[in-house]
Chain A
Amino acid sequence: MRKGKRRTIRHAQQLGLPEDVVLGLPRLVLHGNSSMTLENHHGALEYGSTRIRMRTGLGTLTILGSDLSLARMGRHDMMLRGEIQTICFDGAPETGAAGSRCRADKER
């Protein structure tokens, strides 16, 4: 993350402003592991029934799972259905089982 953006996040946190509104950061709402809502996305990079990669303000968001489908795809929001197994951002600490999967997925 760039230095200026980090500073803006800090200022927003100090002022108590929602970061997703101020910076356009992605907002994820996960309903169990069967559906997910993503707001503030910047488009799709890859779309398949087992892997979806979305561009966001924080980088690429990768969603792994099975039988994935987009229930709705709007300009700033999308709703995903299917069995969600892994969600990770590029640049996130790749530790644990999920991190390993994302890392393996990225190397593919």
Chain B
Amino acid sequence: MYGGTVRFAVEGLSLERLLNQCVDTGVILSDVRRPRVRVITAAVASSQFKHIKALAKKYDWKLTVRKVTGLPRLRDFAWRRAALAAGVIVFLAVAWYMCNCVWSIQIHGAGPYLGEVRRALLENEITPGRFSMNIDVEELRALLSRRLSGLAWVSVSLDGVRLKVYCVQGAPRAESDLSDQPRDIYASRDGVIESMRVAAGAARVKQGDAVRKGQLLIKGEERGWGGSTNPVAARGEAIARVWYTAEAIVPMAEIASVPDGEPISRKVFVTPWGEWSPDPAPDFDGAQAVDAQARAVLIGAVLPLWVRLEEYAPVALESRPRAEEDVKQEAALAALRLAREAAGLDKPIIDKWVEYSIIDNSSESGMNPGIKAHLTLEVLENIAK
């Protein structure tokens, strides 16, 4: 029974009267037993137990409560252990509150507007620890869209204890695209034309032509009736294979630390409020590097106290030669990364090739002798500007 039941025993004479009185007053008894002539045990809903008490008092029966189950038992338990019950209630309340706060704010895709987005959130007092039920995400989204005109699209959502802000930056059209004044389109860099798409004007190059930077690609004129030509604002795109180059130098040797002294152990007690150690901090020679390893040992599951064991060892720095292939590979990867950053990460790559050269003197790189990777990246790009 949801509201709980009370199992009781009634002792006295003429106990059939109890059954009949219960029948008359609408009290429903269950599991009625008569272990002895003068004793009846039964169970009744806790809400109806007061009638049993009244009957027992009226007929001078001895009433004994044997067992209480359900919510009344929980209530009695909580009443007897008020501190525990209060602690549980406080814990549940705090847990609920903590689960309804924003503890992490994630901003994606804002790019150069990241600071502006953060400032807007800060001005609206949206910081970690803010109660999430007080955050109107739709209003916040509208505010960011209104305030940051450079963003084409903004989404704000609450995901548990995380506030996620997704932004897409707008790509403003060039002012020349917006103008209707007659104009031509020129190549923005050297390349080989792969495809031409002309929306307005007349193409002056075709697929396979090698063009130089500044060369006319689309003429801003169109042929009219009678052989006349009308000036127009040229529009279109010229997809061409273009090249980006990048260089990276990686030294042939690496610096490694080799222990050359007696290691020293140190024990540090760490709490969230500070740390303390009975051992003094090691005092090493400034010319020697120090290698430290820390290991955290948890003391107890409740106390916020850790013991960190630190191992200090004096080391010497020495130069070790590296395998040439490894150095070449590292230099090529670094050059590729630089070239891709220069070309733009969204450009499709057609081809790439690397040339290596050995740097002997340190004057060029300012470092030890190394390998220079010269990488050329071929990508497809619209060069019509």
- Partner-B contacts on A (CB < 8 A): 43-49, 69-75
- Of the A-B pairs whose beta carbons lie under 8 Å apart in the complex, a sample of 29, sorted by A's number, is A43-B19, A43-B23, A44-B16, A44-B20, A45-B16, A46-B16, A47-B15, A47-B16, A47-B19, A47-B32, A47-B40, A49-B33, A49-B34, A69-B31, A69-B32, A71-B31, A71-B32, A72-B28, A72-B29, A72-B31, A73-B19, A73-B29, A73-B30, A73-B32, A73-B42, A74-B23, A74-B28, A75-B23, A75-B26
In angstroms, Cα B19 to Cα A74, docked, is: 9
For the complex with contacts A73-B23, A75-B28, 10 further pairs of A-B residues with Cβ separation under 8 Å are A43-B19, A44-B19, A44-B20, A49-B34, A69-B33, A70-B31, A71-B30, A73-B29, A74-B23, A75-B24
A73-B22 Cα distance, complex, nearest whole Å: 8
Complex Cα distance, B30 from A71, in Å, reads 5
B238 CB to closest chain A CB (Å) equals: 91
CB proximity of A49 to chain B, nearest CB, Å: 6
Indicate whether B171 reaches chain A with its CB closer than 8 angstroms.
no
Check B37 for interface membership: any CB of A closer than 8 A: yes
| Shortest 10 CB-CB contacts between residues of A and residues of B | A70-B32, A43-B20, A73-B29, A44-B19, A69-B33, A44-B16, A72-B30, A74-B28, A47-B16, A75-B23
List of A residues within 8 angstroms of B22 by Cβ? 73
B37 CB to closest chain A CB (Å) equals 7
Q: How far is the CA of A48 from the CA of B37 in the complex (A)?
A: 7
Residues of A within 8 A of B15 (CB): 47
Provide the residues of chain B in CB contact with A45, threshold 8 Å: 16
Q: Is the CB of B34 within 8 A of A48?
A: yes
Is B16 a contact of A73 with CB atoms below 8 Å?
no
The B22-70 residues at the A interface (CB cut-off 8 A) are 22-24, 26, 28-35, 37, 40, 42
Give the distance in Å from the alpha carbon of A49 to the alpha carbon of B37 in the complex. 9
Chain B stretch 118-153: residues in CB contact (< 8 A) with chain A: none
Contact partners of B40 in chain A: CB under 8 A? 47
**Given contacts A47-B40, A49-B34, A75-B23, A70 and B16 within 8 Å (CB-CB):** no
Q: What's the Cα separation between A44 and B29 when bound, in Å?
A: 13
Measured between alpha carbons, how far is A49 from B24 in the docked complex, in Å? 23
- Contact at A70–B23, with CB atoms within 8 Å? no
- B16: chain A residues at CB < 8 Å are 43-47
Contacts of A74 in B (CB 8 A): 23, 28
With CB as the reference atom, state the residue of chain A lying closest to B30. A72
Cβ contacts under 8 Å, A72 to chain B: 28-31
Specify the chain B residue showing the minimal Cβ separation from A74.
B28
In the bound complex, CA of A75 to CA of B40 (Å): 18
In the complex, residue of chain A having the shortest beta-carbon distance to the beta carbon of B35: A49
